[in-house]
Amino acid sequence: MGTIQIENVSFKYDQMVNNLFDSLNLRIDESWKLGLIGRNGRGKTTLMQMLQGKLQYSGQIVSNLNFYYYPQPVANKNRPTVEIVKELTDLEDYDMWKVEVELDKLQVKPDILDQEFSTLSPGEQTKVLLAILFIDDYGFQLIDEPTNHLDIVGREIVADYLKSKKGFIVISHDKTFLNQVIDHVISINRQNVDVYKGNYDTWEQEKTQQDQSEMAEKSQLKKDISRLHETAVKRENWSRQTEKGKFKTGLQQVNLDKGFISHKSSKMMKKAKTIAKRVDGEIDEKQSLLKNIEIEDPIKLNYVEVNHPKNLITVDNLQLVHDDVTTPIVSFKLPVNKVVSLVGQNGIGKTTIFKQILGIKQPFTQTGELHVAPSAKISYLAQEDELEGNIRQLAINKHIDAEDIFSNLRKLGFERYLFEQPIEDMSQGQKRKVALAVSLSEEANIYLWDEPLNFLDVITRQQIIDAIKEQHPTMLLIDHDQDLIDEVSDQKIILQK
């Protein structure tokens, strides 16, 4: 039986002060279907790269398994898909049936292999690259965020596909997807790494219990330290008074023996110092407290409610047409303090409708009516983040206080050392958090969020859900995360051709 032994592994990138992993020890069985969970930037993809031997680290990783990674880099997408598959797998023509078998399980027709890879939809490209991972019966798959380009139906298909496989590690930030496909969790926490048997819900329940225990311990610690400080201060004040060599008794001043006073004062001062050291010891002993609590302060939107008009966006029989592209006819209203979600498969026109609402120039002819409250301030979180420069420059361009963005980023688990780095050099998850923090920080009456959860970790996703449910902003939303849609939507507009 195959295993992966990770023994005393430590690693950090050059720009980091502290280790990303410090004396990490794990034992993984080849039959486990593992979900890799943790904040963006905690090292999920890094761990996968170390398993593949792509990074230098101290310690050792021992395994008899062949590792295969998704997404595989495709240098030139303007070629027939079959050529790309052969290049990535080293398969000959007579073995292509292996790929076709996997594609069939993913509900993809084999003639897709004859098409140019660049012409495939993002979902089809995902399925092709997933299929070639599983042609080796002795492989162990490392699957990094396969759901980002999949709609709800696509995620269900891939979930069913992975349920039939025997062992892998998958990074995904869709908890519904994870609950369907995994039986173990590796949790990369703030200070350590844990392994749980079970799915996402198992991990979440255990994590909640740990957080509650640490919060209770923190509360008791604060009381103990406050009491110890108070005692120490009282004793120190008494010892200082005795050094004056006198006490007041009623209206008379009583002089005491100087030797006695000196002895008593020294004794009390020593006790005071002992208690002070005890307080410091308590603090040092508990300095790991809250080591794994991810959320201490909830995020908030800089939302400003407006009551007039009642509906801030009104869409009546709207349809957009350009050449052979036509969006479905759609009608809806966006009332104040309501969340309306546009739901539909990839490519149906949800983002096109968003851009039309925003007044972004497009080559579409519009029929039907579209009205947006003219005085309403709209915060738009685009599906793709086109951000450059550093965060301070971005704040100036957006007319936002940079400290507001930094504050929101810290709440989202963003590391401080990234604050001054160029945004274009950040990971996809880090870029997404910057874009989200900007939208949270700018004053708005309406939020148009287009797939806000792309590349974001499960903890950040829950923060977003909690913030929307708490504040009830006026929001038009696009996303394929079923939990987000179900939990925050007041109305779902289903787009169908």
Q: 3-state SS of 434-484?
A: HHHHHHHHCCECEEEEECCCCCCCHHHHHHHHHHHHHHCCCEEEECCCHHH
DSSP-derived secondary structure for 127-159: HHHHHGGGS-TTEEEEEE-TTTT--HHHHHHHH
Collapse the DSSP code of 88 into the 3-class scheme (helix H, G, I; strand E, B; otherwise coil) and give the result: helix
Task: Please state the pTM of the whole predicted model.
Answer: 0.77
Beta bridge partners of 477: 341, 449
- The CA distance from 431 to 421, in Å, is 11
Beta bridge partners of 58: 10
Question: What single letter denotes the amino acid at residue 90?
Answer: D
Question: What pLDDT was estimated at residue 417?
Answer: 83
Structure letter (DSSP) for residue 73? P
Angle among Cα 232, 234, 238 to the nearest 5 degrees reads: 115
**Cα radius of gyration rounded to whole Å, the chain:** 29
- The CA distance from 497 to 272, in Å, is 78
Question: What pLDDT was estimated at residue 287?
Answer: 46
What would be the CATH architecture of the domain defined by 311-494? Answer: 3-Layer(aba) Sandwich (3.40)
pLDDT tens digits for range 418-473:
899 999 988 888 999 999 999 999 999 999 999 998 889 888 999 999 999 999 99
Question: What pLDDT was estimated at residue 214?
Answer: 76
Residues of the chain with pLDDT under 70: 1, 218-219, 221-222, 224-229, 231-296
Question: What pLDDT was estimated at residue 252?
Answer: 46
- The CA distance from 113 to 110, in Å, is 6
Question: What pLDDT was estimated at residue 257?
Answer: 57
pLDDT tens digits for range 297-353:
789 999 999 988 999 999 999 999 998 889 999 999 999 999 999 999 988 999 999
CATH 3.40.309.10, applies to 3-200: no
Question: What pLDDT was estimated at residue 360?
Answer: 94
DSSP-derived secondary structure for 169-236: EEE-S-HHHHHHH-SEEEEE-SS-EEEEES-HHHHHHHHHHHHHHHHHHHHHHHHHHHHHHHHHHHHH
Question: What pLDDT was estimated at residue 49?
Answer: 96
Q: Is the dihedral of CA 309, 312, 317, 323 positive or negative?
A: positive
283 backbone φψ class: left, alpha, beta (φ>0; ψ -120 to 50): alpha
Domains 3-200 and 311-494 share a fold: yes
Question: What pLDDT was estimated at residue 324?
Answer: 84
CB 497 within 8 A of CB 328: yes
CB 371 within 8 A of CB 314: yes
Per-domain boundaries in the chain: 3-200, 207-285, 311-494
Question: What pLDDT was estimated at residue 246?
Answer: 47
Nearest to 275 by CA among 227, 225, 228: 228
Beta strand 33-38 with 168-171 is: parallel
pLDDT tens digits for range 477-486:
999 998 999 9
